[in-house]
Structure 1
Amino acid sequence: MQERDQLMFVYFHLGLNYKEILRILNEKHRIGISLCYLKRLLASFGLYRRKNYSDLLDVAMFIHEQVQESGQLNGYRWMYLKCLHSGLTVRKETVRLLMRALNPGGVNNRLKRKLKRREYNGQGPNFTWHLDSYDKLKPFGFCINGRIDGYSRFIVWLHVNKTSSDPRVIAGYYIKAVIRNNGVPLRMRGDLGTENTHTAQMQTFFHRNDHRNTFIYGTSQHNQRIEKGIPECRRYLEPSQNPTVHQRHHRGSLLKSHRIAAQPPLPDINHPTSNIKQPKECSEVKGLPHLKLLLSTAIYHEIQNADPILANVPFGPKNNKYVKIDNSMNANRGNRQRSTFYDDCGVWDSSSGNTIKTHYIVSDNTRQVTKKEGQYCIGQKRKGTLSFIPLNPQPSETDIVTLRKFYTALKRDSSYKKRVTWLSSTVDHNLQKTAVYEYLGQYPPVSHEQFIRTDHKTMQQIRADVKFNRPQKIYSDNLQNYDINLAPRDTKQIRNIKYRDEKKE
């Protein structure tokens, strides 16, 4: 019973409410009591939250002492908890009013979000070493780890490696620095990352006879000495500041090496094994007459004639061109499946894309009609009003063909447009397997930073191969068996496909 009463007394003065005290007693100390019984026990000790308040002068003196030291940065909620921990019974509103009277400048600064910065006091060289890693350049292959002396701001080490998360690597930096300096620092400051575990154990071992805390843990935001030192490297390494790193990243040639100087030279983008898919001149497509999209009559005749149909859109820039492509995959898809129109132009703006369905009478010189309430009509405009007049007699379904036209624009240059037209309803079902791709405008040049979308058939083949082969083998086989325009971009693309497919399963 005496132990229970002592625990209740301690938790009460820590500022915990009744429910929190009951939960801690039950879960940690295996002491189960009811809320009413807890209140009776606290009342027997004279412990109340809203009774027997401490003398106002004592509370004011306590707050005055606190604001003269580190308490000047505390708000009234924090100061209220300090009062409770010191054994004072006071209302939170009373603490707020006293702080406004005793420390009006601090209250105004907190309201303005303008706090007084603390000063860093270093007692001498090698008193505190600050350790941290810089991970913002990890996607580019640069894993930076550094350590700086807090007093002199001398950089003890600053290394670039293929990893900054391995505790053995960081411990190696530490041992070399200790040997080079012929001694160890009195204290070290780092975050709670696993890469600092070996270093913290070594630092503690070297000071095993010292009972002080020789390795201080804390958040990286408060480790300002090293946080200020490492970002200076951004001016030389960050892609936005260094064009060489920028080009290496977008060309997929940034290899994770031990040192920056050991990086291989930039690849030639014109080399046949380069990952950059440069467009070639395309001779398989036809030119748009008068630099305009084809009329519906011309499209229907193009689908009907016996010209060869290509399996895929040819690679290369297509400036005011059109081409006939096999549309069997979309013709055989289900009703709720989405149509896909692949090419090598890049990303098309889906928000600007729309599909229009129109009906034509083949026997009447491919005349356009509109279907209203189950009847085919022709539109006539009289006195500014558009009206639809049903045809008499109605044409038979064998004379009607339905054209679907999909319009979109290139996302990086909206002046370059594409239209895909195909037959969705006709007597000859073989005609539904042909689509006419039209490209209007000048194709914008491909920069070195842009990748061209991988061919969809290659993506389908990769999805089938990743179930049985490793990504590296699939990538090597594709480079040997396919044209560079059909091959995947890199092994990471194959790993991403494998990850997404496994996640769906």
Structure 2
Amino acid sequence: MEAETTGECCESLDLIVSDVSDVNTDHKSAPLQTMRPASNPGKFMTNEELLKVIKSTEIGEKSIPHGIKCDVYIIIEASDDDNGAKYFPDDCGVWDCKSATTVNQTFVVTDTLDKLRTVYIKKEQYCVKKMVNGAIIYKPLFPQPSSVLTLHRYYTKLMEDNTFKKRITTIAGLPEFISVEKKMLAIVEYCGTMPTKLKKHGNSKKSEPYIRTDPKVIQRAAEMAEHEKVSNVMTKLMEDNSFTAPKSTRQINDKRFRYRKRKREENMNSRINIADDVQPTDG
């Protein structure tokens, strides 16, 4: 498969990442073990380095920690939200989703995951690209590989400072000897110097920086609001962690509305399926 890029709006990319991030004006320091320094500051990791990191990591973080992120990377569990989209909220500011790109590349990999060789799909065959007499040709591999590995990478820049970049990598097709837990890992890299003073969101009518609440927190709040008053839910979440809590009861009400709507649709579909399964009997 050839490398694919796109600069479409973030809505078309939401299966990979959520582009608008939390803003942490305090920038509390995160534990050192959660943010690891880049081996080559100013550059993203090579493909081989990415694989080495996956091989040597047993478990990822539940979320991206708060704190200054200058030439560091974080290994995180690539969990899905209730809509199937993967979210990676952070505290860096607002990311430029309109200029963001995705790159998907397919490789043949050695049994030890040490070496990668780029392959392309041509006429339903895995091929390597060669230059012959000034022309590019695609030569089928023989024998054809029984399995391949695909790197899904997402690139974006900070709206505040486009020299500060982020890349998120997930890997599909890892060999069977790689544990299920490792197959669920994503590597989030921050390249450059993170600004410490952030502006408000461009669409915001308020003067303070835009703060995006973690989608998992909003989902939890909506589920709690099914059994409690929204104001009580807000108070409890503020007591748990005032920084990650929803910023208003409206956030909870909006999410609860969508949560209930989805539940009604699921119940309706369930009743339709049951009705289809009921067979008429001869009287």
TM-score, structure 2 normalization = 0.69
Answer yes or no: is the 8 Å Cα contact 1:471–1:494 preserved in 2. Answer: yes
Partner of 1:345: 92
Q: Distance in 2 between matches of 1:276 and 1:305?
A: 30
Shift of 1:380: 1.9
Shift of 1:410: 2.2
1:419 to 2:167 alignment: yes
1:302 to 2:53 alignment: yes
Partner of 2:136: 386
SS of 1:359's equivalent in the other structure is strand
Q: 2:103 aligns with which of 353, 356, 359?
A: 356
RMSD, aligned CA: 2.8
Partner of 2:63: 312
The letter of the residue matching 1:494 is I
Number of residue pairs matched by the alignment? 224
Partner of 2:233: 474
Answer yes or no: is the 8 Å Cα contact 2:127–2:139 preserved in 1. Answer: yes
Shift of 1:490: 3.1
TM-score, structure 1 normalization = 0.41
Shift of 1:353: 2.3
1:462 to 2:221 alignment: yes
Answer yes or no: is the 8 Å Cα contact 1:360–1:366 preserved in 2. Answer: yes
Deviations 1:325-363 (A, max 9, x none): 011438xx99xx443333232332222223222122222
Where does structure 2 lack aligned partners over 5 or more consecutive residues?
1-22, 200-207, 265-283
Partner of 1:409: 157
Answer yes or no: is the 8 Å Cα contact 2:75–2:186 preserved in 1. Answer: yes
SS of 2:88's equivalent in the other structure is coil
SS of 2:110's equivalent in the other structure is coil
Higher strand fraction (1 or 2): 2
Shift of 1:405: 0.9
Partner of 2:18: none
After TM superposition, the structure 1 stretch with the greater mean CA deviation from structure 2, 493-502 or 358-367, is 493-502
SS of 2:162's equivalent in the other structure is strand
Answer yes or no: is the 8 Å Cα contact 2:218–2:251 preserved in 1. Answer: no
Distance verdict in 2 for CA 1:299–1:343, change over 3 Å: same
Q: Distance in 2 between matches of 1:289 and 1:325?
A: 18
Distance verdict in 2 for CA 1:393–1:453, change over 3 Å: same
Shift of 1:294: 0.3
Q: Distance in 2 between matches of 1:276 and 1:422?
A: 25
Where does structure 1 lack aligned partners over 5 or more consecutive residues?
1-274
Q: 1:434 aligns with which of 185, 195, 214?
A: 185
SS of 2:163's equivalent in the other structure is strand
Q: 1:445 aligns with which of 196, 201, 204?
A: 196
Answer yes or no: is the 8 Å Cα contact 1:277–1:485 preserved in 2. Answer: no
The letter of the residue matching 1:443 is M
Answer yes or no: is the 8 Å Cα contact 2:153–2:170 preserved in 1. Answer: yes
Higher helix fraction (1 or 2): 1
Answer yes or no: is the 8 Å Cα contact 1:277–1:452 preserved in 2. Answer: no
1:490 to 2:248 alignment: yes
- The 5-angstrom pairing of residues 148-297 of structure 1 reads 277-282=25-30, 283=32, 284-291=34-41, 292-297=43-48
SS of 1:414's equivalent in the other structure is coil
Answer yes or no: is the 8 Å Cα contact 1:326–1:433 preserved in 2. Answer: yes
Answer yes or no: is the 8 Å Cα contact 1:421–1:437 preserved in 2. Answer: yes
Answer yes or no: is the 8 Å Cα contact 2:108–2:119 preserved in 1. Answer: yes
Answer yes or no: is the 8 Å Cα contact 1:345–1:452 preserved in 2. Answer: no
Answer yes or no: is the 8 Å Cα contact 2:64–2:88 preserved in 1. Answer: no
Q: Distance in 2 between matches of 1:384 and 1:278?
A: 56
SS of 1:322's equivalent in the other structure is strand
Taking every aligned residue pair, what percent have the same amino acid on both sides?
Answer: 28
Q: Distance in 2 between matches of 1:459 and 1:493?
A: 7
Shift of 1:304: 1.5
- The 5-angstrom pairing of residues 121-136 of structure 1 reads none
SS of 2:80's equivalent in the other structure is helix
Shift of 1:416: 1.9
Q: Distance in 2 between matches of 1:345 and 1:424?
A: 27
Deviations 1:131-167 (A, max 9, x none): xxxxxxxxxxxxxxxxxxxxxxxxxxxxxxxxxxxxx
Distance verdict in 2 for CA 1:460–1:358, change over 3 Å: same
Q: Distance in 1 between matches of 2:156 and 2:236?
A: 35
Shift of 1:382: 4.1
SS of 1:352's equivalent in the other structure is coil
Larger radius of gyration: 1
